[in-house]
Structure formats: structure tokens, C-alpha cells
Amino acid sequence: MGTVDYFEIDFLNVGESQSGDAIALRYERQGNTFVHVVDGGFQDDGPNIMAHLRKYYGGNGASHVVLTHPDSDHAGGLVTVLEECEVPPGGGLWMLRPWLYASELIDHFARFTTVGGLEEALREAYPNVAALEAIAERRGIPIYEPFQGAMIGEFTVLAPSKARYLQLIVDSERTPKEAAPTGSVWLIEALQSAAAKVIRYVKAAWGVEVFSTEPTSAENEMSVVQYTSLCDEKILITGDVGREGLTEAADFAPLIGLELPGIDRFDVPHHGSRRNVSTEVLDRWLGPRLPQQLPDGQGSFQALISANPDDKEHPRRAVVRGLIHRGANVVQTTGKRGAYLRTSKDAPPRDDAVPAKRLPYPEDQEED
């Protein structure tokens, strides 16, 4: 496909105090420029994404738009993107639509007797995906399935496999298994999110790691994990994927010639949540813990975290510690809504670019 001349990846700060993901990236190959948008943050973040494309990427075009998973902090802003973006021939929207697989899933749902009934219920359970589908169909934008092995421009999808994705639909709390009042699952999630949480911290020596024993949600595990090598830099985009998805992706990596450990630009999943990684997963992707901390600024790779600076729960200190244990320079989105965190190589300079500030090593971490 030819050598890539440069790349730039921008992690936009989204939301007011909650975290989400909105990533814009651009690369050039043999004089041709390609733009991808991966997730769109909340609905109000859509205009900022489009403004970013116009200001820094020279227009409204996007070769590919990728929804990693159906949560509103990733899907909301893509409504504006799909309405306003120009998608050239060969491009399209990449997302997984649960209702397409209703005929394969219906045996798992006793309350449904017809495939059509299950399709309708799945559309209602995943309204963000249904809304994006409607826009894409109205505008004539092709929709592709980002299952394991698919190529999205220069990126290869490492996870999810179709088999694991179908199981995640069955496992999801959103998926209608028993009769329940409409919106009850959403109400429970809202109450859980609003509940006050008391976080306690404990001092910990270098190398000590304690991650949550709780798994992340089935929806997060649905996240599309993308890998590419651009300008000899290995890049992993993770969405909100959890330990299972990262393990599946690592198992698939050798089939595309990716030798692990060793990632140069690591998109930290789920805003730095303790439920998405483990010592074993970090070892596999990033390498073992170092005997001591590297001198300031001499990290061997970049770990990039999409987390609103006003979010009191992300990133978790245990995750920042785990990344630095393996030699990372850890950076986080900062600034107001629409500000961005940039990582690039050989890309055109920007007059307003501000160097990212590395996160310090936490001397304590969350109590288990």
C-alpha cells in the first residue's frame, strides 16, 4: 500500500465533567491524505469535532468514521459528524448493529418468537446505533462490520471476533431477556452513575499493582480494537475494551505479524479505568514491570488517556502506576471542551500546539 509519510492523532477533550472518547486522525500516503474519526464523545461534542476537522485537516471530509461501541459518550457526537461529513467513495461508517444477527441469536431469547420481534427489541435497546444507521442510510453512506480481521484504511481490527460479539449481546444487561418496563435498565444505570462513591487510597511501593476484580460492562467489551503501524510506530486504539477484548486482540496479533509486547502509542481503554486492565494484560501488551522508574521524560512509549480533567474518577491512579511501571510517558486530555491532545510523527506543525504534560507517578493507589 506504500509508505505513510506522516500521521497525527488528536484526542479531543469531551463532555463537561464526565469522560468520553472522540479521536480524529490523519495520515498521508503517496500524496493522498486520509482522515478517520473514531468515536464522537457526547452529542454536544459533534460540532467541536467538525470544527477540528475544518481547522486542522482542511475540510469536512472523513475517509472512515468508526463507532467503537454503543455507549452515548462515544456515539453521541457522531450524529453531527455523519450529518456534516463528506465521506469519499471507498469510505464509510464502521459499526456493529446487534439486530443484524437476530436470526443467529433468537434461540437465546425465550420471550421472542419471531426474528422481526427480536430485531425491533434490539433496535430499542441500542438507540445510539439505530440513530447513526438511519443517518447513514439517508445520506447513502455505506456501513461496514468492524469484526476481527477487517481493514479500516491502514488499521486492522484485532477484536471483537463475531463469535465473541454475539455472546456479548446475549450477556448484555441492555439486551431484553425478560419482560421489563421500558427504560428500566437505563434508570438503573443512571442511578448507579449518580451514586456517591467514596474512594480510599493506600500508599504503595514501586511495582505494586492492585486492579479491580470486577469486569467492565458487556458493552465496553464490544469495543472495536484497531491496530496499525505508521511511520514505524505501533499504534493501538482501544475504545472502552476490557481485559477479555484485549486478550482476544493479543491472541490475534501474531496472525498479522504483530509481535508483543511493544506498542509505541497506547490508547488507554475506558479513560483509565481499573476494571479494564490487569497486570497480566499490561505485561502482554506493554512488557513487564521495570525494576525502577525511568528518569523523567525518558519513557519508552506514550500512553494516552481520554479523560476529562474535571472527572474525579478517571484516570485511576492504579492504572497510571501500571503504565509508568512499564516505561510509559502518560499524558491525558486537558483544557476546555474541544481542546485536544496530539500525538504525531513527521506531521505538519501547528502554531497553537501545546506540549502535553506528563502525569506524575502516584505514590498511592485505590484500595481494593
Give 87's contacts (C-beta < 8 A, 6+ positions apart). 61, 62, 63, 64, 65, 93, 141
Model pLDDT for residues 222-242, shown as the tens digit of each residue = 999 999 999 999 999 999 999
Residue 367's pLDDT is what?
Answer: 87
The model's confidence at residue 260, banded by pLDDT at 50, 70 and 90, is very high
The model's confidence at residue 176, banded by pLDDT at 50, 70 and 90, is confident
Which has the higher per-residue pLDDT, 144 or 17?
A: 144
Residue 155's pLDDT is what?
Answer: 98
Helix (H) or strand (E) holding 33: strand 32-40
Model pLDDT for residues 336-345, shown as the tens digit of each residue = 998 999 999 9
Residue 357's pLDDT is what?
Answer: 86
Supply the pTM of this predicted model.
0.93
Q: What is the mean pLDDT of residues 298-317?
A: 95
> How many residues does this entry show for the chain?
368
Indicate if the pLDDT at residue 181 is higher than 50.
Answer: no
Residue 184's pLDDT is what?
Answer: 39
Q: What is the mean pLDDT of residues 259-267?
A: 98
End-to-end CA distance of the chain: 48
Which conformational region is residue 349 in: left (phi greater than 0), alpha (psi within -120 to 50 degrees), or beta? beta
The model's confidence at residue 37, banded by pLDDT at 50, 70 and 90, is very high
Indicate if the pLDDT at residue 250 is higher than 60.
Answer: yes
Which has the higher per-residue pLDDT, 352 or 74?
A: 74
Indicate if the pLDDT at residue 34 is higher than 70.
Answer: yes
The pair phi, psi for residue 219, each rounded to 5°, is -65, -40
Indicate if the pLDDT at residue 309 is higher than 70.
Answer: yes
Which has the higher per-residue pLDDT, 179 or 248?
A: 248
Nearest-angstrom CA–CA distance, 352 and 301: 24
Q: What is the mean pLDDT of residues 50-62?
A: 95
Q: What is the mean pLDDT of the chain?
A: 93
Residues 278, 243: contact at Cβ < 8 Å? yes
Residue 159's pLDDT is what?
Answer: 98
Residue 188's pLDDT is what?
Answer: 40
Q: What is the mean pLDDT of residues 346-368?
A: 90
Q: What is the mean pLDDT of residues 41-51?
A: 97
The model's confidence at residue 180, banded by pLDDT at 50, 70 and 90, is very low
Nearest-angstrom CA–CA distance, 313 and 284: 26
